[in-house]
Amino acid sequence: MNRAKFKEILIFVAGTTPQIITETIYALVHRNPPVYPDEAYVITSAHGKNLIKKDLLKSGIFTKFCRELKIPETILTEDSVIVIKDREGKYLDDIRDGRDNECLGDFITEFIRNKADDNSVRLHCSLAGGRKTMGFYLGAALQLFGRSWDKLYHVLVTPEFESNPDFYYKPKKDKKLTPLNPPLSKMEKEEIKPLHTKDAEIVLAELPFIRLREKIPLDGKGFKELVSEGQREIDTAMIQPFIRINLKERSIYIGDTPIDLVPLQMMIYIYLLRQKLEYCKYKDNIYCLECAECFATIAELSTKPVFEKMLKDYRLIYSIQPSRADDLREKSKEGMSPEILRSNISKINRAIKEQVKDETLLPYYSITTVKQYAGSRYGVRVEKGKIRIE
């Protein structure tokens, strides 16, 4: 991918191992093609930030690292090491309980959401480091908001170097390191063989993930709410396929199934679908669920104003024969009679029942009635988000 196309932003979660930052950057720079970071952010606890400042930034290791790899030191500063806050706005020193864990999920999710709103950047997210829950939330947030060009990684290091506090990357000049947990006897100490950084391997594993952004509406604030929304939308998608209507082509498809209705029936059916899209009383609600507030009585459907609205779609259906709409208006000057409406509603339902083989879909796409104080109200149960009219 052309580097000039994106601003490359690295995002880490880290706990007590600042090494994962330099190891991941080292692996990215040595990829083919290489990825040169423009910015880096580390999400961590207050304790984690202190370790990063002491062991990586103030020690001079990061400066030396950047100079050796010819990347700017400014990609990571103390300001770009971000500490998670609790509900009261206090910095978390550690993730100790369920409440802290929930704050962590919300914090990481909101951070990724904000960064992913900028289409000029590409996110490189590393799961290595930090508590397991931190890696989980980072991966989950990227599933919710990541774009097709964003990346998710895990860095793998040769075992004997992986937990060695003196190993941060492979310097150009070989360096000897003392192995961890050396034997205690003097004789055994003399037999210890040092580790050579030239023998270390740093491998960056790119992890595939399901991208839900643009596939499902996600308006929730916290992580739990977003997951609940996403699950509900997925469940709805599994049960209710899209209903697509093209007026000029006189076509109706429920999923891949074509529904054959005569123009008059098509006009009535589309009006009831438009009720959900254009006259919803609760536009802020993503899902209709059991709401039937947009359903209309036969008396309401038979009025002249409603008939005039229906007639607009009828004209589009008969776009090459505009006189058909004029003829229908002449026959129904004061609106469609209740008898004609009831008859055509029955015919619409019969046609849908005959043509839709999956009976579980019929309650969502047939015209149903709801008993209310003003009499029976008619409408279609399908979720408004599943309706497409062209």
Q: Give the Cα separation of 119 and 30 in Å (integer).
A: 25
| Joined tokens for residue 386 | 């599943």
Q: Is the model more confident about 338 or about 233?
A: 338
DSSP bridge pairs for 41: 11
Handedness of CA 159, 165, 168, 174 (dihedral sign): negative
Looking up tokens 């799961």 gives 127
| 43, 107 contact by CB (below 8 A) | yes
All structural domains of the chain with their residue ranges? 3-158+201-231, 241-389
Q: Give the Cα separation of 141 and 143 in Å (integer).
A: 5
Residues of the chain above pLDDT 70, percent: 94
Quick count: other Cβ atoms within 10 Å of Cβ 64?
15
> Comparing C-alpha atoms, which of 153, 155, 111 is closest to residue 18?
155
| 42, 52 contact by CB (below 8 A) | yes
The region of weakest confidence among 72-86, 115-129, 214-228 is 214-228
- Distance of alpha carbon 368 from the chain centroid: 33
Please tell me the predicted confidence (pLDDT) of residue 2: 42
CA angle 90, 125, 164 (to 5 degrees): 85
Per-residue pLDDT at 192 exceeds 80: no
pLDDT per residue over 363-382, tens digit each?
999 999 998 766 799 999 99
pLDDT per residue over 97-135, tens digit each?
778 888 888 999 999 999 999 999 999 999 987 678 899
Say what the pTM is.
0.64
The one-character DSSP state at 70 is T
So what CATH class is 3-158+201-231? alpha beta
368 φ/ψ angles, rounded to the nearest 5 degrees: -115, 165
What mean pLDDT is predicted for residues 352-361? 92
Please tell me the predicted confidence (pLDDT) of residue 1: 38
pLDDT per residue over 275-324, tens digit each?
999 988 888 777 787 888 999 999 999 999 999 999 999 999 998 888 99
pLDDT per residue over 241-280, tens digit each?
899 999 999 999 999 999 999 999 999 999 999 999 998 8
182 φ/ψ angles, rounded to the nearest 5 degrees: -70, 155
Looking up tokens 């202190």 gives 50
